[in-house]
A = this chain, B = another copy of it.
Amino acid sequence: MSVDASPRGVGALGRPTVGVRRVSGIDVARVAGVSQKTVSRVVNNDPQVSPEVRRRVQETIEALGYRPNTAARSLLLGRSRTIGLLTVGSATYGPASLAIATGRAVRDAGYGLRVVNTFDLDAGTMDDGLLSLLDQGVDAIVVNEPTSMFQARRHRLGVPVLSMSGPLDLSETELVVESDAAGGVTDAVRHLLGLGHATVHHIAGPSEWPSAVWRTDAWRAALRDAGRDVPEALDGDWSLASGYEAGRALAQRPDVTAIFAANDHMAIGLARALQDAGRRVPEDVSIVGYDDVPEAAYLSRALTTVRQDLTVAAVRGVELLVQVLEGRRDQGLLEVIPTRLVIRETTGPAPASPR
């Protein structure tokens, strides 16, 4: 097969072909008059190549539009320079911004990203997701919600794992970068108590979600520390509808003057339920959410909420993960990213006569 140094029909993004095949290192070698191995050396920046040869090879690579075949490289090296993201949840702000931030950090580090999303976190579904990621040969796995099932499996995955919600127990290649839920929620509860509210009610996320559990735990602990009653939490499922439903129940009770919802979506649903029941926010009832979604600041009553910086968390997590992958780190680490209570318009002094 003859090789033409100016292949036809090839643009900046083309996949130039010689005959019907993609351009391979051998094609480049032939045109440049060197061995295939030398092409490989140039591609991998091996210093053992004379400047003259390097230049010639590089020009040929350019001219032919050669791109190394990653499948061949993966096969040989057993590594794919790809990180797998197992993300649970729907198109909500938390999972979505985590995914985007992870993707960018991964790419900046010179890796690719494979993604598997599951809506629910039952063991079977997550098993499938993990397995498909592993089958595709990812070098490491990032998971946003390390369920108990995941925790049981993680030691056997055979690849480093980064968890974005903690804490797991640290093993040799285990990394956890989590938001400081305890800090943010404690601030929120104290803020409400400081405004004169007798206690704080809570709409929880699903108990299978570790991140929901930490928030509920933190809420309970903060109330206990302050010596207040701990009311029973209402069960939500992160959705606006579940926040609305919980709000309908809570609106019936005049003693309820302060509510912490485990995410902003439920807080928004809650606010609407209170409005529909004729209870004013914040005059009658104060509300705090969690996440600081972009719209929080623009609601007709801007939402007081706990901001977590998922972008920082993802960037830091991927940084650690890449350290492990490249042998620059050999032990696990738990890192906590600060959160911040953002006080806006949905919290105010407790009403004079709460009951």
A15 proximity list for chain B (CB < 8 A): 134, 156-159
- A78 smallest CB distance to B (angstroms): 8
A8 to chain B, nearest CB (A): 11
Q: Given A13-B156, A268-B299, verify A114-B112 contact (CB < 8 Å).
A: yes
Measured in the bound complex, the distance between the Cα atoms of B67 and A294 in whole Å is 43
Nearest-neighbor residue (CB-CB) of A310 within chain B: B91
**Copies of this protein chain in the complex:** 2
Interface residues of A in 207-253 (CB under 8 A from B): 239-240, 243-244
The CA-CA distance from A324 to B131 in the complex, in Å, is 27
Interface status of A132 (Cβ within 8 A of chain B): yes
State how many angstroms separate the Cβ of A76 from the closest Cβ of chain B.
Answer: 9
Residues in B whose Cβ lies below 8 Å from that of A298: 240, 243-244, 268-269, 271-272
A74 at the interface (CB under 8 A from B): yes
Pair A107/B112 contact, Cβ less than 8 Å: no
Q: Which 6 residue pairs are nearest across A and B when measured between Cβ atoms?
A: A15-B158, A91-B97, A71-B74, A96-B96, A14-B156, A91-B96
Q: List 5 A-B contacts (CB under 8 A).
A: A74-B74, A240-B294, A240-B295, A240-B298, A272-B302
